[in-house]
Structure formats: C-alpha cells, structure tokens
Structure 1
C-alpha cells in the first residue's frame, strides 16, 4: 500500500465512514433495517430509500410484503428512530412493465417465472442503483443474505454464511459493474437470529417483524388469480391427457398448473401417481405422466450473466455446480458455452421438474463463489 493511501473502512472504501455516503435499499423488513442502523452506528452518511412498487391503494393495509403500504411506514419509522433521511420513490409503472407484465405473460406461455430475480435485475439493481449514484453515494447496501468478497480480479459474489438464508439464486444476474457498487453487510452472519439480536440491540421497532413469504404482488401464493386479473380470459379450461394423447380429465386453465405438480390434478382412481410433465399452451392441454418423465439431464440456458475471471467462451467446458430451483442444493454439471449469453448445461445426475422460466445458477463446486447464471428457456 502506498504511504499516502487511506485505510479502507468496513465497506472497503478508502474514506472515513463520516465521509462515505451509503444509500440503503429499505424494504421495511428487519434485514434492511438492521443494515441501515448498523451503518448509521458506524458513522456512515446513511440515506434510506424505499421503492413503492405496486398498487398503493390496496397495499396500505397489506402485511408481509416488501415495498408497499405498512412496510413503507416501517422503513420511514426506522429512519426516524436512527436519525437519517429517508425517501420513498414511486416505481409502480416501472415495476409493472419490467416485472409484473412479464410474469403474467410467462405463465400464459407455460413457463414458471421467478419475478423476484427480475425485480432485483431490472428495478432494484438498475433504477434504484442509478438513483443512489444520482444521490452521490459511494455505494449502495441491501439486506440480502449473500457475500461480496474481493478476489484477485476484483469483487466476487459468494454464498451467504448461513446456507438456510442464502439468496444467491435470486441474485445471479447481478453484473460485475453493479457488484462493484453494491454491499451486503449481513452475508457473513451465521444465522437470522443474529440479525434479530442486532435489531433488538438497536431498539428497532421492526425487531420482531415476521419475514415476508410470498411474492409481493401475489397474496397467499395464488398465482392464478393474479394472472386472471392481469389477463382476463387466461384461465380457459381444457383437457388433461397422458403422453399418448388419451384424455384423462378436464382442467380449469393451464395457468393453474406447473411442471412436476402432483396434487390437485383431479384424476384419481389410477394405479400409479401422475405428475404434470408438459404444458401444451397452444392446445390448452395439461400432459401428465409417470415421475420418470420428469428427469432432465440437458438444460438449454440463455441470457447468461457470467461472473468468472476468464471470458465465458474461453473454454469449451466449465465443470461447475448448478441450481435449477431455489429450494434445491447445487448439482454437479458441465457447462458448455454456445455464445457469450447461451449455453447447454449437462447435469451429471438427472434433475426432476426442470421448467422453462426458472433460473439456472452457476456455483464453484468446491467453494462458495457464484459464477452467475442464466434462464432456462424451453421445455428442458
């Protein structure tokens, strides 16, 4: 280190905390509130920003979802308690166009979308991050459970210390440029209990607030009802058929089904359990078959965001681990680039229930680093 270089602060920047402006993305939950309080206590110039993302009128009385109604109030109250400025930005139109519309169209196309990833990619880490720059911030901090570490080639993305809270699946599309500006102060904590203890120590009013479970604009996990409101007439009935096309029953709309689904098919009385193996949107058919038909070894992936030190296409194959569902552990795989943004993923052990619209996230098979990921784009 040169003699005139300033020591790095806890956010890895060569400034005193008091001279370092941090915009904290505040959802109103305990995680982002603790981040803001922690940085304020350390002496940083903290600015809290909350995005109002959807349906302000209906959201005022809604609990347990980020970026709406009571949660905006909670974020503002934490800012008042800790003594830093707080702003609410109306992003309803951006959120609807960038996230909700695609969510509905993907379901209508027979895919299983992950809107939280698109929200991080297209709203929080794009527009909000630009707002942070406009506010002359040195970095933006969030309450996500993921780690940012400095490697030989720059900032790297790593899984959270608490595997049960790790949110890497939802953050794979974070670009290198965004990663340089972002900070994740909770990623190293051993458990969520530690976060709540910090919230209690700071005396935050949200210390005991429950975690949100649902997608923010999908109350009670009822995807179909949301899509029917967004796209009237979407739930047209049709046939449930076996792989040979024999009709086994009727359904009330393809949007009510997902690949791998077993319950709620309404075709009891058969000797072996059947699963949804294909959604034929064009013919309004739900195809069901034995569990063995769900096994997938080869997965086409596109819109790849690569976070490796080397060029993605510099190798013919990358031996990595991949995750194709947020709730499943990474599986060993070989990643074969087709272009800078497309690849074929070969799983060493077949995976069940792989669906178009889901993410495929790339991991170091022997460590914690995330190498990005892409989107599964057709019936795998």
Structure 2
C-alpha cells in the first residue's frame, strides 16, 4: 500500500519513516511539507541520506488521492482539520497524530486548543486509536485519531483496575514526566539547552490539552464522569514518558494479585509488558520501541495502588502507535514493521 506523510519536517514524520522503511506492506510514496517544498528529505535529516530518496512537496489533494491509499498527518494541532475532510470525502484513509479529532466536545476543544473544533460529521466519524481498548472499532476506521503521548501511557496504566471496578475513580492522581522531544522540533525558550540542562520543571498545570483526552477515555470506560489531577513535568532527556499514577483501592489486594490481573488483561496485546513484583520500569527500557511497560505496587499502609507506566513518546506515544493502528485498519499483523527491541543503553 502506498502512503503519504504530511508534516514532513517534524519528529513524528522522521519516526514514521524509520519504521515504515522496514514495513513489509506499506511504502512511503510522498512526503508533504509546505515550508520545505522542493527540498530533499535527507537535506533536512542527514542521517537518512541514501536511505530516504524523496523530495518534499506541496499538498495537492486531487493528486494525493490518486497516488496513495492512506495519509499520516504529523502536523501541529489545528492544521489537519482543514485538510482531512477533503481526503476522507475522496476515499483516502487518514491517521491524525495531532489532537484535532480526539475530543468529542466543541466547548472542551475550544477551551484547550484555542480554536473551533473540526466539522462535526468528521468528529463523529473519527475513531480514537488506543489500540488495546478500541481494536474492533479501529478495524472499521477510515479516520483515526491517534492518541497523545501522556494519555497513552496513563490510560494503559489505569484501564485494568478501572474496568474491574477496583479503584475509586475520583481519586486518580497522575504525576507525569516527558523528554524534551515532546515539545517538537520548533525553537522554544522552554527547551533551550541553557534553560533545560540540569533542570526539571512542571508546566501547564491544570491547562494541558491532554487532560480532557485522558478524562474522556476514562469516563467512557467507567460509564461515569471522571476528573483527574494531572501534573506534567519536562525533564532533561530527549525521549520518554513516565506516568506515575496513584489511586485509592476499594479493598486491598497484594501486588502479586494486581500483576496477575494486568498480565491477564493485556495477554493479547503484543506491545504492553507487565513487570514482575519488585521491578519498576524505566524510560530507557522502552527507548526507540513501541512498548508500554507497566510496574505496580499495592501499598497496604496507605490503601493506594501505585502504577508506573513508561513509553517512548515519539513511538508508542505517536508514530509507532500510528503504524500499529494502520496495521489493525488494514487487517495486517499488528506488529508489522514494529517488532524491534528497545535501544539500550
């Protein structure tokens, strides 16, 4: 299948290319970039010289619809909503790595993204692409809203105990960390080397656009309105998400019992790995891979369950999950092009 990538100069695009280069069924035919049209992709990312021999182009909807069957959007927020409807109307499948089609509420979207939501018929058509939860819906999707990085790590950490009604859903406290690549490739004082090196800071407390996404998914699973306390932090590393989640248990069970629950819950999911008792995962252990690793500790003293969930924000938190979604949409093996060990050390 021939595919295209729109938003060719960002980290999401280059990660898509890294995995699609080894994909057995998908071929990247076009890379679209308005700002770098006419430039060889390898001139922007020198490490792809003699591997990726494509020149970036301006977008032409009619031509694109004739040459590819699926388009990945690795664009900033409030961009894809202006182009995806035209492609969907022409029968082209779309996977959006931005947040334009994730939220259902126009009011919530306006509050967190600062603009009007995409046209309602396309919001209703979009399938939220958390692979491990919505696999059957994804199989039928033409428009796929790829989840954000924080929501992926966080919801995968919470879902097993939420679905089994083992926690008080109104006590969810999320302490999350990200590497600087989560801010994208654009220049920003916030991630300037002098500002970020040997530093560690909380940001967008109570305002992060992933808050409503997390709440929407958890509320849907629990069939009740759930609000979470979510504090994101940026740390001086390039890649990685660590989401440490604290929840009140309805009744105490051992750590071993929760590990057994999580292993059974995710036994059919090739990219979720549950750690043994006493072992807590680190971000380095999923670096460059599509894995989500989860560690658990049931604290009998406080009556809380502590969940540590780690992913690579650019892979399982973005491009890797997008390819996993493509595989499910096309009926291919879910691991196609993705089954690789993390890079270590």
TM-score, with normalisation over the residues of structure 1?
0.28
TM-score, with normalisation over the residues of structure 2?
0.30
Q: Specify which structure has the higher proportion of strand.
A: 1
Q: Specify which structure has the higher proportion of helix.
A: 2
- Look at both structures and tell me which one has the larger radius of gyration over its CA atoms: 1
**Higher RCO structure (Cα 8 Å, ≥6 apart):** 2
